[in-house]
Structure 1
Amino acid sequence: MAAKKAWEAASKSMLEEVGRWGCMKQTGVSLRYMMEFGSRPTQRNLLISAQFLHKELPIRIARRAIELESLPYGLSHKPAVLKVRDWYLDSFRDMRSFPEIKDANDEKEFTQMIKAIKVRHNNVVPMMALGVQQLKKSLDPNIVNEDLVEIHQFLDRFYMSRIGIRMLIGQHVELHNPNPPPHIVGCIHTKMSPVEVARNASQDARSICLREYGTAPDVNIYGDPNFTFPYVPTHLHLMVFELVKNSLRAVQERFMDSDKVPPVRIIVAEGIEDVTIKVSDEGGGIPRSGLPKIFTYLYSTARNPVEDLEASNAVTMAGYGYGIPISRLYARYFGGDLQIISMEGYGTDAYLHLSRLGDSQEPLP
């Protein structure tokens, strides 16, 4: 009994601390700043970076933990969401119980700890998807997507914040690489070729299509392979992969019995402010009434693989309906955007705008 009381008191004081930290101001950083700061990963810079994260990460984590407590329609009480909330509280506790970082040894230990936090949060997206599915099952069917605006807005903030937390941790951890490849600063490639990343992402998407359907449309890429600009290749890979995967599925299903299957086309254009990547398909398009839905988290035309979440980690061809809204957040994280234009009866064009300037501050929800 005494142990239970002590535990309750401890958790109460921790929740009060979460509340206190959640009110503090977040500090955004830009791609350019991360790149310039990380280009000299001296011991002193690593120490400064760790000290910054030691103060910044608990603020960001606390804000999300607080939001997870008060979601509408009872979403906060769904088992999967409670699990995510516990991950955030555990990470907050780890961060806050870590002493002040004074020297290289402290910094090394701190780096190991935030690495473990990043791993702990690996499954946050599918787990939240599971929570939303659990909610959908229990909701009155008369509540339509439009009524769930608050949940969409929360998920946008939540996932945007997660991208930022993972970027900051990933960047700090990667700066410890003793022999980084040329032009690599942490997670950032200072001379990234968008054509090359698009090629790799398309190959990955095609191999999944081949696995699911036994065949896959071609992907043709247009653009200068020698053109480069600073960006995070893993982010771009994820976005192009999602867009191409959707296009391949649409084309494949529309031309299932046809001998002549039109290719998916990717065009990479370099502007002064933006690099734009257009993914074009002739997969029949999306009706106009369906377009707003593709950016929501509660909609997917495909069967839902979330139920298999516990059983497998395989990437499926289509899924939680999360690829598109999350890709848009990745684009916006560094000042870009994602737009989708459809011609019902013909096909879809997705425009991925990436900011070339690298000056935009992180959007901090």
Structure 2
Amino acid sequence: MASEPVARAVAEEVGRWGSMKQTGVTLRYMMEFGSRPTQRNLLLSAQFLHKELPIRFARRALELDSLPFGLSNKPAILKVRDWYLDSFRDIRYFPEVRSRNDELAFTQMINMVKVRHNNVVPTMALGVQQLKKELGRSRKVPFEFDEIDEFLDRFYMSRIGIRMLIGQHVALHDPKPEPGVIGLINTRLSPIQVAQAACEDARSVCLREYGSAPDINIYGDPNFTFPYVTLHLHLMLFELVKNSLRAVQERYMNSDKDVPPVRIIVADGEEDVTIKVSDEGGGIPRSGLPRIFTYLYSTAKNPPELDRPNTERVTMAGYGFGLPISRLYARYFGGDLQIISMEGYGTDAYLHLSRLGDSEEPLP
């Protein structure tokens, strides 16, 4: 444990940096800047991150300390807050980046910071679950969780930004990047190919869980490409397809009717690329629709207990974090995610991705 004056000095420093203004970047800027990863550009990028990351880490650490309903005191949340403070310290007290060697050492350090934060989402989910259990016991449930939802939206949006900035900088050091790939951005990403990969992953999870999986049909131009972050698109499509497979599987499990396929349609417009994931899994009642984007709601009967180790294994349904986080990924580069449902029939998810790459990060 840090001694009192040291802790106080760090707290003051966090307060000071947390009040500074963040600087947003666009997908297009990241592409143009990263297309020439010269030593000078990598140095400039490291110098930018050296100033920018402490501001972002400090803001989240301060917010983690002042959450409503006693959420800040839950052990899981305290653990996450400590990760943010450690990362703030690591970057803040790293000497100025002036040479190539400084830059390489800095890159190695921020990559370790990124690894430290790998389990933030399940750990935050655990904290929220701890709170939910406690409130369930005390029967204090007729209050609104809006504040917590708003906080988690800001928190996860910020996390996406931090991971994107660090990941992009680290990836620019790849000695042999694939053609058309700039850091984490694939300038010639084929949404059909990403959809195929996400479908394979989601079907294998469904097969493991239920022993069978509905078919998936994908429609769209296989030659169409646009610049986007493969990782982000895969994550969003995997989540949507997984939800559709589960709905169809559970609806037709004990039926002798033909199981209808899940359909994915990719449309390329002038401004947006839109991907629709369509299922006939029975839909969501209209009363349930507002809840699907809150972090405290899951349709799974028994969400996995997060206290147990090995929660990294992806389950078909879990902590109710998949959809709201997918929507944040879509919004991070100016897109959106909409869910339209016909109760008694099925659900359509519309994933809108901005084609222009000009929208700036939404900075919480």
TM-score (normalised: structure 1): 0.97
CA contact (8 A) 2:126 2:307 kept: no
Correspondence for 2:94: 98
User: Mapping of 1:216-365 within 5 angstroms?
Assistant: 216-259=213-256, 260-302=258-300, 303-365=302-364
1:178 is displaced (CA, Å) by 0.6
1:164–1:362 Cα contact (<8 Å) kept: yes
d(CA) in 2 for partners of 1:312 and 1:346?
Answer: 32
Q: Distance in 2 between matches of 1:257 and 1:195?
A: 32
* Pick aligned residue for 2:181 from 161, 180, 184: 184
Offset at residue 257 of structure 1 (A): 1.9
Partner Cα distance (1:305, 1:112) in 2: 34
SS of equivalent to 2:299: coil
Match of 1:26 in 2: 22
Alpha-carbon distance, 1:137 to partner: 1.1
Uncovered stretches (5+) of structure 2, i.e. residues with no partner = none
The Cα of 1:7 is off from its aligned counterpart by: 1.0
Instruction: Give the counterpart of 1:117 among 110, 113, 116.
Output: 113
Q: Which residue of 2 aligns with 1:75?
A: 71
Asked if 1:149 is matched to 2:146, the reply is yes
| Aligned residue pair count | 360
Q: Is the contact made by 1:126 and 1:309 (CA closer than 8 Å) also made in structure 2?
A: no
Contact 2:249 2:281 in 1 (8 A): yes
| Contact kept in structure 2, 1:126 and 1:306, CA below 8 Å | no
| C-alpha deviation, 1:308, in angstroms | 5.0
1:92 aligned counterpart, secondary structure: helix
Structure 2 residue corresponding to 1:173, chosen from 170, 175, 181: 170
Alpha carbons 1:87, 1:121 under 8 Å: kept: yes
Q: 2 CA distance for matches of 1:96 and 1:158? A: 20
Structure 1 unaligned residues grouped into runs of 5+: none
- Residue by residue over 1:94-133, the C-alpha shift from the partner in whole angstroms, topping out at 9 and shown as x without a partner, is 0111000000000000000000000000000000000000
Contact preservation (8 Å) 1:334, 1:361? yes
Partner of residue 42 from structure 2, selected from 46, 61, 78: 46
- The answer for the alignment partner of 1:159 in structure 2 is 156
Separation in 1, partners of 2:70, 2:85:
19
Q: Tell me how far 1:309 sits from its aligned partner.
A: 4.4
> Does residue 10 of structure 1 match 2:6?
yes
Deviation at 1:310, TM superposition (A): 2.2
Q: TM-score, length-normalised on structure 2?
A: 0.97
Percent identity, please: 77
Change (3 A) 1:311 1:192: closer
Q: Does 301-310 or 208-217 show the bigger shift?
A: 301-310
Write out the 4+ residue segments of structure 1 that deviate beyond 4 Å after TM superposition. none
CA contact (8 A) 1:111 1:173 kept: yes
- 1:361 positional shift: 0.2
Q: Could you say which residue in structure 2 is the equivalent of 1:194?
A: 191
CA contact 2:122–2:306 (8 Å) conserved in 1: no
Q: Report the RMSD for the aligned CA atoms in angstroms.
A: 1.0
Secondary structure of the residue that 1:199 maps to in structure 2?
helix
- 1:50 and 1:30 mapped to 2: Cα distance? 17
SS of residue matched to 2:44: helix
TM-fit CA distance, 1:22: 0.3
Distance in structure 2 (CA, Å) of the matches to 1:137 and 1:16: 34
